[in-house]
Structure 1
Amino acid sequence: MNWLTAALSCLVIWFVADGLIDERDSARIERDTAQKEVADLREAARISGEMLADRDEIDRTRTQELNHARSEIADLQRAVDAGTQRLFIKAACPVTVPAKTGTGGVADGAAAELSADARSDYFTLRDQLAVSREMILGLQDHMRRICLR
């Protein structure tokens, strides 16, 4: 009977130990999975941080470029308004054929220049062009440095 009790005790201990070993293995697997998830989340956070830093740098660079371009446009506009600079346009005037009855003609004048009312349109277009240029360059930078990462 002693040997039967000892055998049953060993059997019970073996089942308990087997159960504990299974729980230990399950806990290890869960721990390893959790550690992998933590490492993946840290890597994702690192990449997100870098992408946000790149985005901020692109924004800062493009804003500086836009402010510089707008400053140059404003300086040019002030110079034109003050009369220290003029806006010339490339133009060619066709040669007029004088009528047979008269002796009219057009003397060569100065270079063609924008009229006063067209100047504001010119500066508006330059500003819009500068904004569009920086937006396009910013989007291209964003695609290259962030989206294609």
Structure 2
Amino acid sequence: MLREALFLVVLCLVVWIGFDALEGQRDEARRERDSAKWEASGLREAARISGEMLAERDAIDQRNIKELTDAHTENKRLRHAVDDGTRRLRIRATCPATGSVSATAGAARVADAGRAELAADARQDYFTLRDQLAQSRQMIVGLQQYAMGVCRRSPAPLANPSPNLNK
């Protein structure tokens, strides 16, 4: 009978130790589960923010590409109008009369021939500069909008509250 009682005590002790070990494993598994849930939640939030930032970047790109296309179209329209003579490309210029013609040669002076215009071969350079200026402007505006709208919203790196994630 003593033997049976001792066997029963040893059996209870083994069962108790086994349950204690299982309880420790269960607690560790719960900690890992909670850590994984927290990490998944952080990753979902980061993905949501990244998606919003990409959408905003794409909207900025579309808006600036449209404005640049409109500027190029307007420039082409002006170029064709100047080429076919419906519009004139004028420049602001002055021709100082002092020193170039003597005051005594008043009758020999040439009359004002009208407004100064760019030479035909310089017009192409003018419109090329207009295109480049429009492109540079849109690049600068786009970068400013990107910096103000997207870069300022960049998510901060997630802190890791659970040391078990690094194991």
Instruction: Provide TM-score, normalisation by structure 2.
Output: 0.83
- 1:10 and 2:5 are equivalent in the alignment: no
**How far did residue 12 of structure 1 move?**
1.2
**How far did residue 99 of structure 1 move?**
6.8
Counting matched residue pairs gives 149
**How far did residue 70 of structure 1 move?**
0.4
- 1:104 and 2:108 are equivalent in the alignment: yes
**How far did residue 120 of structure 1 move?**
0.5
Maintained 8 Å contact 1:89/1:113: yes
- Cα deviations by residue, 1:46-103 (Å, 9 ceiling, x for unpaired): 1111111111111111110000000110111111111111111111110133275785
Identity of paired residues, percent? 54
Larger mean Cα displacement after TM superposition, 9-18 or 73-82? 9-18
CA distance in 1, matches of 2:101, 2:75: 41
Match of 1:23 among 18, 22, 25: 25
Instruction: Provide TM-score, normalisation by structure 1.
Output: 0.92
**How far did residue 137 of structure 1 move?**
0.8
Q: Which residue of 2 aligns with 1:90?
A: 92
Q: Which residue of 1 aligns with 2:142?
A: 138
**How far did residue 5 of structure 1 move?**
2.6
1:49–1:104: structure 2 CA closer, same or farther, 3 Å change rule? Answer: same
Counterpart AA for 1:104: A
For 2:108, what is the secondary structure of its paired residue? coil
CA distance in 2, matches of 1:5, 1:104: 138
**How far did residue 35 of structure 1 move?**
0.9
Q: Which residue of 2 aligns with 1:73?
A: 75
> Which segments of 5 or more consecutive residues in structure 2 lack a partner in the other structure?
154-167
Match of 1:114 among 113, 118, 122: 118
For 2:89, what is the secondary structure of its paired residue? coil
Maintained 8 Å contact 1:98/1:104: no
* Superposition misfits of 4+ residues, deviation over 3 angstroms: 99-103
CA distance in 2, matches of 1:101, 1:13: 127
Q: Alpha carbon RMSD of aligned pairs, Å?
A: 1.6
Q: Which residue of 1 aligns with 2:164?
A: none
Maintained 8 Å contact 1:98/1:105: no
For 1:84, what is the secondary structure of its paired residue? coil
